[in-house]
Amino acid sequence: MTSARKIAVITGGNSGVGLAIARQLLSANSDKHEFRVVLACRNQAKGKVARDELLAAHPRALVDLVELDTSSVASVERAAIALRTLSQEHHGISLLFCNAGAMAIDSLYIPGIVSGLLSHPIAFFESSEALRQKRGLVTADGMGETFQTNVFGHYLLIARLTDAMPVGSRVIWTGSAASQLQFKASDYQHVWGDKPYESSKYIVDQIAVPLDQRLRPLGIRCLVAEPGNVCSNFLAGLGLPLFQYLIVGMFYFIRFVLGMARFTINSDSGAVACCYAALADEDAVDSRIKYHSQATRTGKPYVAQFPLTHNKDTAAFLMGRLDGLVKRFDDEPTREK
């Protein structure tokens, strides 16, 4: 019965890990869970292709498209209205996957490649040292582009949807192998730093626990899951297909020969931790844990759990800044752009 379905919203759900999450949720449909999947994505043409793929595999499924660009406050506000309207057909939004993400790559960084391969070759392939990221990118809303896309756009969406999420709902952030990486309070949006992507994922790790503490009295949990090293479409913009093939080959080599479990490589393996965080029993999840997708040498995926590293003072600082930004847009209604 349609009204019994749970709504699962996946930002960036048209490709990569987001699309793999959608596939796994629909495959998990049963008497216990039956999901209506909403692909919230910027590119509606690609979204339609993804929806068609899902419906071809699951003809009885309900799959919706909502236009969402997390780098635009106006787009987030419109998407929130559409999602709230959709939620009224069911019992609210049960799952919100904050998955959409972007890394603005400028070029290959040759010094980083040479240094990484010579001094720490294994860790090098777990990092983005080979890539020079663009600096100084600011959105029309006046925020760092990567910060707004990966963090604030989702934070605002959560704020707008909280009262449409029933008891038992969950927010699942797609994390990364984040570290402090030049994080500075004076440039917390990492507009002028060299690692805006990693900084944005560091912020996700910092805010997950206090956000869970804020939402938990409402019956909503906030969790972080890491897909591992997935060969995503981040590198497509370089126009170097041979380099991409080289990276894929090295990933398989490292995983098989060295047993590096974080090299999940494909999106389906990368999505298993996100789905675990979404579907596990309430007493099996903890916001102080980061759920990692990993894979055996032969590629069998599984979920590992590690403590989520965060600093209370940094978390409080970031929550204050994010709340301030939300208030700014509460006080200054966003005009259509």
- The domain segmentation of the chain, as residue ranges, is 2-331
- Confidence label for 335 from pLDDT (cuts 50, 70 and 90): very low
- Strand, helix or coil at 142? coil
The confidence band for 243, taking pLDDT boundaries of 50, 70 and 90, is confident
- Contact between 171 and 223 under an 8 Å Cβ cutoff? The reply is yes
Residue-wise DSSP of 254-281:
HHHHH--TT--BSHHHHTHHHHHHHHS-
Give the percent of the chain with pLDDT over 70: 93
Contacts of 254 (CB under 8 A, 6+ apart): 122, 125, 260, 263
pLDDT of residue 199: 92
Percent of the chain with pLDDT over 90: 71
193 three-class SS: coil
Per-residue pLDDT at 337: 41
- Sheet of strand 301-307, all strands in order from the earlier edge strand to the far edge: 62-67, 35-41, 6-11, 93-98, 170-174, 221-226, 289-295, 301-307
Greater pLDDT, 233 or 317:
317
Place of tokens 């040479």: 114
How far is residue 68's CA from residue 302's CA, in Å, rounded to a whole number? 31
Q: What is the pLDDT of residue 240?
A: 67
Lowest mean pLDDT of 127-136, 142-151, 232-241, 316-325, name the range: 232-241
**Cβ–Cβ < 8 Å for 196, 147:** yes
How many whole angstroms separate alpha carbon 271 and alpha carbon 16?
9
Domain 2-331 has CATH 3.20.20.70: no
pLDDT of 4 > 50? The answer is yes
User: If DSSP codes are grouped into helix, strand and coil, which group holds residue 8?
Assistant: strand
Q: Record the tokens describing residue 133, joined without a space.
A: 């990221």
* Cα–Cα dist 152/321, whole Å: 10
95: nearest Cα among 38, 152, 151, 52? 38
Q: Which pLDDT tens digit goes with each residue over 174-214?
A: 998 766 566 888 999 999 988 899 999 999 999 999 999 99
Give me the DSSP letters along 67-134: E--TT-HHHHHHHHHHHHHHHTTTT-EEEEEE------EEEE-HHHHHHHHHH-HHHHHTS-TTEEEP
Q: Mind listing the pLDDT tens digit for each residue in 69-105? A: 999 999 999 999 999 999 988 889 999 999 999 888 8
Mean of the per-residue pLDDT values for the chain?
A: 90
Q: Tell me phi and psi for residue 11, to 5 degrees.
A: -75, 145
In 3D, which of 241, 44, 70 has the Cα closest to residue 157?
70
Closest CA to 149 of 49, 1, 42, 282: 42
Element (DSSP H or E) covering residue 208? helix 196-215
Burial of 60 (0-12, 13-18, 19+ CB in 10 A): exposed
Q: What are residue 128's DSSP bridge partners?
A: none
3-state secondary structure of 253: helix
pLDDT value, residue 115: 85
